[in-house]
Structure 1
């Protein structure tokens, strides 16, 4: 029973991004609402103070006060409209998503073991979410939408979020920084908090494109407006960018050739995606890969990458999964697990390891007994070619 006990704590730890994404989205809605309130009510308070200071019985002052009050009422009504629109378009839907996702996670807490009849259904839904996440990260948005619609998990996946990523990345592929800069402006305080310099990199790229087009006057004006404010942290890059105007895009001078290199656009796309993931509390790897890493790390052995010791029953020995497993550490076993190279089966007390007398090569008893039965009691080492009678084999003991 304990072997099938559900590791609820581990599940919740793994599902943190699933719960945090809508939470972070709602925080953005809250911050936007707060900024609107502070801006509009601040203006109303200032106007009210002015009226109080200038309050006199003259009719002209009374008319000015009435106009000021009308202006205050208009500001408050506009603020109310803005907050209502923000709540209906983003706030309420995000709260609904949060509620549904938390209910999805709460259902696991009622399950005690993996044998619970509800767990397979929950695990299937989780796999559907991971497949949608993988599809979205690999540009297969239509596939992701089809899976989400067919499996009914639209509110449990982040299709809209990845649509925003794709829209901005498509603009960068077309060598336009406008969309990405708008995103940076909307998230300026968050980017500053994590010391992310994506905005500077985008501004520098726009400057480079002006230099590439030979628009030196525009480039100088652009540098004064958008690059110089970064001089405290990026002065060397700004100086190098200034010297770029002396070199054509065909230059072979290494520092400036690198600045003109079009591969910088690809680097910008990668930097933007990482910044977006960071601010949205999403892992940089697909959730499906992270789940597979955990399983592969428990199976990976040095023998998995030895062509002579491939095990047909081992996922890590499979070429495709083995490639994925290259990034995970080897498993740590307190007790050794020995696998026969001939049959792929584990050698234990019921299938003891046997060694050839001269070469010392080890194989399972089952494999060697089968070989001896087919060869009149003679066994042959497939590695060295050594032959001997089955009775000459040395019996080994696992400790």
Structure 2
């Protein structure tokens, strides 16, 4: 029985799962507080000003009434804004609650063989698949899966929808939407020391120079690039050199500055900064989860063609093996001998047997082969054929 002795180890990857809605909830609260403080300060000053002017006789009753109506109108607008933020707060509050309940359910599961673990794992797998599909751009498929499995509150589809709009604008060679996003998240981007806004300004300058709109480019640089001179003077000097080189130049580094691949780098940089602000992991949780398992299976033999195991996921370099490329080798205290033919472990129930040519395979695999070939076993490495009576047991010390 596979008893779960340490639930915390299996929950280590679930930190972003709860943090994402919690951070959005906190952000919504800050927005509400900001609106309230701003309006209260403005209205307090307005009321004081009205009181003072009315006492001094500078405002007649009609003007006072009109000013008070303006205050009521502002309060109505504040109420409307707070209603919107309250709905957002309720949304993320509910999501946090649902996700905590999901994780709490796992802590009550005693064994990996129980039905409860099977149900819990299915939910976890589905939400991980939704996360992966959203990152890969399959939004509609992800939404259908989330709806069919009833896990809408465990995924963050709308956050990917918002970021997708910015990425699509960058794909159209437009920085406008991304610059707007930078403005809305200016304080948070400053905390993570992001240089995305400068890169966007730099690209807009390059596009003006590409069109040979020299005067407009110079004016743009004076307005938007000069403010970055303390931290990015070297980059500013380099990009200003484009004024002397046409888009057809083969001179580096100016040819590289004109390269359209810079837009792909901007998309990647926006995605990285957006994931950091939204508390998403840089890599899909699906990849991280698979790599956690692959790291326990990876051995030096996985990358030697003649020793690859058909049942080992790491040995297949075109699929899961690609995810394991940069992972460290697993640490094994005891060696395990695996049959090259069947991929099964050789032990006391499936003894290792040696052919006359010195190659070792499992007893079960050789006997199965012999049963289908009139008592003959063929070595898959050399092609040599032997009678099954010629195989011998191997004793490993």
- The TM-score bracket by the shorter chain reads 0.7 to 0.9
2:185 alignment partner in structure 1: 187
> Structure 1 pair 45/207, CA: closer, same or farther in 2 (3 Å)?
same
1:138: how far off?
1.2
> Structure 1 pair 70/241, CA: closer, same or farther in 2 (3 Å)?
same
1:282 alignment partner in structure 2: 280
Distance, in Å, in 1 between the alignment partners of 2:326 and 2:377 is 43
Could you give the per-residue CA deviations for residues 84-143 of structure 1, whole angstroms, max 9, x where no partner exists? 23213x222222222222222222222222233222112111111111111111111121
The CA RMSD measured in Å over matched residues stands at 3.1
Stretch of structure 1 that moved more, 374-383 or 207-216: 374-383
Distance, in Å, in 2 between the alignment partners of 1:98 and 1:381 is 56
1:137 alignment partner in structure 2: 135
1:229 alignment partner in structure 2: 227
2:82 alignment partner in structure 1: 83
Distance, in Å, in 1 between the alignment partners of 2:56 and 2:193 is 56
CA contact (8 A) 1:356 1:394 kept: no
> Structure 1 pair 85/371, CA: closer, same or farther in 2 (3 Å)?
closer
> Structure 1 pair 35/380, CA: closer, same or farther in 2 (3 Å)?
closer
> Structure 1 pair 12/366, CA: closer, same or farther in 2 (3 Å)?
closer
Provide the secondary structure at the position in 2 that maps to 1:15. helix
> Structure 1 pair 239/109, CA: closer, same or farther in 2 (3 Å)?
same
Distance, in Å, in 2 between the alignment partners of 1:378 and 1:79 is 84
> Structure 1 pair 376/150, CA: closer, same or farther in 2 (3 Å)?
closer
User: How is 1:203-352 mapped onto 2 (pairs within 5 angstroms)?
Assistant: 203-318=201-316, 319-352=318-351
1:155: how far off?
1.6
2:9 alignment partner in structure 1: 10
1:214: how far off?
1.0
1:183: how far off?
0.9
Distance, in Å, in 2 between the alignment partners of 1:394 and 1:153 is 54
1:35 alignment partner in structure 2: 34
Distance, in Å, in 1 between the alignment partners of 2:377 and 2:9 is 52
1:337: how far off?
1.2
> Structure 1 pair 6/286, CA: closer, same or farther in 2 (3 Å)?
farther
Distance, in Å, in 2 between the alignment partners of 1:136 and 1:329 is 29
- For structure 2, list consecutive stretches of 5 or more residues without a partner in the other structure: none
> Structure 1 pair 331/383, CA: closer, same or farther in 2 (3 Å)?
farther
Q: Number of residues paired by the alignment?
A: 394
User: How is 1:86-105 mapped onto 2 (pairs within 5 angstroms)?
Assistant: 86-88=85-87, 90-105=88-103
User: How is 1:156-171 mapped onto 2 (pairs within 5 angstroms)?
Assistant: 156-171=154-169
1:395: how far off?
3.5
1:59 alignment partner in structure 2: 57
User: How is 1:384-395 mapped onto 2 (pairs within 5 angstroms)?
Assistant: 395=394
CA contact (8 A) 1:353 1:397 kept: no
Could you give the per-residue CA deviations for residues 5-64 of structure 1, whole angstroms, max 9, x where no partner exists? 264212322111111111121222122222222322222344456568x57854336768
> Structure 1 pair 371/137, CA: closer, same or farther in 2 (3 Å)?
closer
Could you give the per-residue CA deviations for residues 146-200 of structure 1, whole angstroms, max 9, x where no partner exists? 2112111122111111111211111100000111111111111111001011111
- For structure 1, list consecutive stretches of 5 or more residues without a partner in the other structure: none
Distance, in Å, in 1 between the alignment partners of 2:74 and 2:173 is 40
Provide TM-score, normalisation by structure 2.
0.87
